[in-house]
């Protein structure tokens, strides 16, 4: 079974930890181009949405914490 494992890093190269592993199953039977394209499209529709949501949540956390850092 083919799968995609994604590791995200910050600007300094430190891995951004996640509550859930970033592993996305592509499925079985990926011998034909049509099956591969369908699996990749499904990943883009499902997996990238979760990655975007995670990045937005991290950005929001940093934005909310910024005023406290400057004032301290």
pLDDT tens figures, 13-71: 999 888 778 899 888 889 999 999 999 999 999 889 989 999 999 899 888 887 766 55
Instruction: Note the pLDDT of residue 37.
Output: 93
Integer Cα distance of 56 and 59 in angstroms = 5
Cα–Cα distance for residue pair 12/1, rounded to 1 Å:
33
Prediction pTM value: 0.66
């Amino acid at each position: 079974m083919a799968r995609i494992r994604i590791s995200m890093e910050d600007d300094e190269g430190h891995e951004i930890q996640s509550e859930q592993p970033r592993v996305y199953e592509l499925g079985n039977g990926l011998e034909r181009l049509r099956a591969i394209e369908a699996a990749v499209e499904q990943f883009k529709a499902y997996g990238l949405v979760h990655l975007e949501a995670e990045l937005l949540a991290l950005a929001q956390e940093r934005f909310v914490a910024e005023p406290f850092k400057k004032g301290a």
